[in-house]
Amino acid sequence: MIKVRQSTIIDAPVDTVWRLLRDFNGHESWHPAIATSAIEGGEPVDMVGAVRRFRLKDGGELREQLLSLSDRQRRLTYCLLEAPLPLMGYVATISLKPVTDGDRTFWEWSSEFHPPAERRDELVRLVTEGIYRTGFEAIRRLVGRAPVLGTLPLPSPAGGAGGRPAPQAVSFSHDEKADRAQVGALIPPPLTPPLKEEGDSVGAPGARTGDVVRLGAGVAESPSPLREGVRGGGTPAEGSDVSRQDRTRAIVVERHGGPEVLQPGEIALPPPGTGEVRVRHTAIGVNYIDVYCRTGYFDLLQPPGVPGMEAAGVVEALGPGVGDLAIGDRVAYAGPPLGAYCERANRPAGMLVGLSDDIADELAAAGLLKGVTASFLLHDVFAVRPGHVVLVHAAAGGVGQLLVQWARHLGATVIATTSSEAKARVVERLGAQHVLLYGRGADFASEVMRISGGRGADVVYDAVGKDTFAGSLVALGVRGHLVSFGQASGPVGDWDIGRFASKSVTVSRPNYGHFTDTPEKLGPHVARFFAAVRRGVVALDPPRRYALADAADAHRDLEARATTGSLVLVP
Amino acid sequence: MPKIFISTVIAAPAAEVWRVVRDFNGLPSWTPFVAESRIEQGAKADQIGCIRNFVLKDGGRIRERLLALSDYDLSCTYTILESPMGVSDYIATLALTPVTDGNATFASWQAEFDCAPEREAALVQQIGQGVFQAAFTALKQRFGR
């Protein structure tokens, strides 16, 4: 495989050049080598699939087909169908980019083909000089402003006698490119720059679909007969083992209580109902809210029941009326109804989030609920702006770590509290400007006042509850806002709101469900969280793993404040 | 989401330009607006995920995380973690492409980000001209013309 690449600068606006080049039959009017050309069947010149049949001035006749055309990228790709020369497998791309500095055009013309070895040099020369460079000059004469390449210092390209040979970018195998790619990181870049990999391949038309959530084909695509069979009448497909899987391993809470009530067992699993899909879990998130459900502090779990509201996995079966998911899709969810602590669960399809290839199952299972929570806490409950003083309690915990990183990204001064030196170091690494230890009688409220020069915090994110609530109120500035979103140390007790008037403070007690209980509410937070992960705004440590049967251990560690970051159960 | 695209042509081979711009900690050496720069946590400047922490000559401090670096594609992608500019979800890519005709370099620098709507025009101008174009102009001068 030979790869040929030529590029030049045309001193004309990119749209001027593109108007000429995007016409697949236009080469007749500008390329000196072309005598006549026509699109077969009289099809439009910008129809992908159009075939141009043309004759060279030396008599040879060729046919080429337009494979892709993008007005957005100003790029087109075509292949050779018939030619009098052995340019086997010839696929070429023309790509334009604006040079904003001077309103000029960068034009790259590249191709790949397999020539017979003995004619390689001859064919490379024909393509690079006879076609590409000749084409560059023709367009330059047509639209370029004089003087030719006035701003480029090095040799005039137009066949100047005695000029040194122009460099040609030619490589001879994919292996060589791979070698260069590997050593490139270890040694200084070579004097001759390595070739660029073409971003878009023409080899797999249709592989890129409009679906931006599920990247890549393959595992996500199930054979349609199976899918249709399952979707059809809502009955399990012939040959699939859905019908036999009427039970699943699960953690069952028979009564509210301590971690010991998390007992492994089995529960019945009916076929997915209307609007539901069955998800085979690959990782299950453990959240502090699961503790509240287990103890009965929240009345979300009525024994006997299965706790958990966050997991990632693979769609295993579709209930009636589910149209936009397929068996094999990677998905995740975060939120009620409960029941995630199990191997398989039926879930409402509308509340499932498709996972792209760059979001791992464990990251989604460990991070989705916390990430969505952090998203609405920082944007909806209170909108953090540059310059705000933000106090985050339990900053080494799951949501806390996200709040610290994200608030700092939003331009806030972040003051974090945590319970140990080790956790303080974690929080410092996340970017908190100030880290305070609580639990030693230290008065964090005074520290916040000192750090903020007496102004106090604009917002306090407090999921610790009883131990911190009073101090959080003291740490607030005038018209500050206290977000109480948990009570890991116990309920905050009764407060006379008359006392809030001294600083006009406001307090909110957000409930996850009220910000996320429809796809319309949930979607933007999921998108914002995944974007933040991709862009490195928030970095998540790999979660600590426990076997599903050891869910009680996970809860013990979580309640003992022995953990930093996230926990997952693995079925 | 505002997008910025700035590009130029530099009169030197791409590999030579790349040697200058690939150093994620090298802004003070080639841009006119950065006073000092360091890589946090003692990381290497070409270590993906490293954070550069630099101070502008006007005093502003910016922290940016290296998301991708390719000696093969001659490109570098990074995100802003912290800045005085009031942008969020900012991601930018600086890329070089050889211009075979003349042995020069096509350099492009693009970014997209979120910001308050009323600040969009000013930020596009400030980043596009005040940062990207200003740095390119300095590069062009450094390489002769």
Query: Are residues B22 and A108, on separate chains, in Cβ contact within 8 Å?
Result: no
Residue A126 vs residues A108, A130, B101: alpha-carbon distances, Å: 17, 5, 16
* Domains of chain A by residue range: 2-148+168-174, 226-231+245-368+541-570, 386-509
Q: What is the reported pLDDT for B41?
A: 87
Q: How far is A223 from chain B (nearest CA, A)?
A: 36
Mean pLDDT of B128-141: 94
| Percentage with pLDDT > 70 across chain A | 81
Mean pLDDT of A175-180: 34
Q: How many domains does chain B have?
A: 1
Domain A386-509 has CATH 3.40.50.720: yes
Q: Is A385 within 8 Å of B87 (Cβ atoms)? A: no
Query: Are residues A536 and B81, on separate chains, in Cβ contact within 8 Å?
Result: yes
Q: For residues A158 and A343, what is the distance between their CA atoms, to the nearest angstrom? A: 69
Instruction: Name the band, by pLDDT with cuts 50, 70 and 90, for residue A182.
Output: very low
Query: Are residues B91 and A9, on separate chains, in Cβ contact within 8 Å?
Result: no
**A429 vs B contacts (CB less than 8 Å):** 41
Q: How far is B95 from chain A (nearest CA, A)?
A: 11
Q: What is the reported pLDDT for A504?
A: 96
ipTM of the assembly? 0.80
**B6 vs A contacts (CB less than 8 Å):** 100-101
Q: Looking at the predicted structure, is the pLDDT value of residue B91 above 50?
A: yes
pLDDT in tens, A262-284: 999 999 999 999 999 999 999 99
Mean pLDDT of A95-118: 93
**A386 vs B contacts (CB less than 8 Å):** 84, 86
**B82 vs A contacts (CB less than 8 Å):** 408-409, 411, 431
**A157 vs B contacts (CB less than 8 Å):** 101-102
Q: What is the reported pLDDT for A419?
A: 85
Instruction: Name the band, by pLDDT with cuts 50, 70 and 90, for residue B128.
Output: very high
Q: What is the reported pLDDT for A231?
A: 30
**A191 vs B contacts (CB less than 8 Å):** 13, 15-16
Q: What is the reported pLDDT for A208?
A: 31
Q: Looking at the predicted structure, is the pLDDT value of residue A209 above 80?
A: no
Max Cα–Cα distance, chain A, nearest Å:
95
- Residue B109 CA to its chain's centroid (Å): 7
The structure tokens listed for A402 are 């996200």
pTM above the 0.80 mark? no
**Nearest by CB: B13 against A5, A136, A191:** A191
Q: For residues A486 and A290, what is the distance between their CA atoms, to the nearest angstrom? A: 12
Q: Class of the A226-231+245-368+541-570 domain?
A: alpha beta
Q: Which of B100, B106, B139 to probe the A interface (max A CBs under 10 A)? A: B100
Q: How far is A164 from chain B (nearest CA, A)?
A: 11
Comparing A37-41, A100-104, A188-192, A416-420, which segment has the lowest mean pLDDT? Answer: A188-192
Chain A residue closest to B83 (CA)? A411
CATH topology of domain A2-148+168-174: Alpha-D-Glucose-1,6-Bisphosphate; Chain A, domain 4 (3.30.530)
Mean pLDDT of A434-461: 87
Q: How far is B76 from chain A (nearest CA, A)?
A: 13
**Nearest by CB: A101 against B7, B65, B80:** B7
Q: For residues A367 and A487, what is the distance between their CA atoms, to the nearest angstrom? A: 20
- CATH number for the domain spanning B110: value is 3.30.530.20
The crossing angle, in degrees rounded to 10, of helices A134-143 and A14-21 is 120
The pair phi, psi for residue A189, each rounded to 5°, is -60, 145
Query: Are residues B72 and A104, on separate chains, in Cβ contact within 8 Å?
Result: no
Q: What is the reported pLDDT for A340?
A: 96
| Percentage with pLDDT > 90 across chain A | 55
Q: Looking at the predicted structure, is the pLDDT value of residue B67 above 60?
A: yes
Query: Are residues A193 and B14, on separate chains, in Cβ contact within 8 Å?
Result: yes
A485 or A58, greater pLDDT: A485
* Structural domain containing residue B8: 3-142
Taking Cα atoms as reference points, which of B10, B99, B2, B62 lies closest to residue A101? B10
Q: Looking at the predicted structure, is the pLDDT value of residue A378 above 70?
A: yes
Q: What is the reported pLDDT for A210?
A: 31
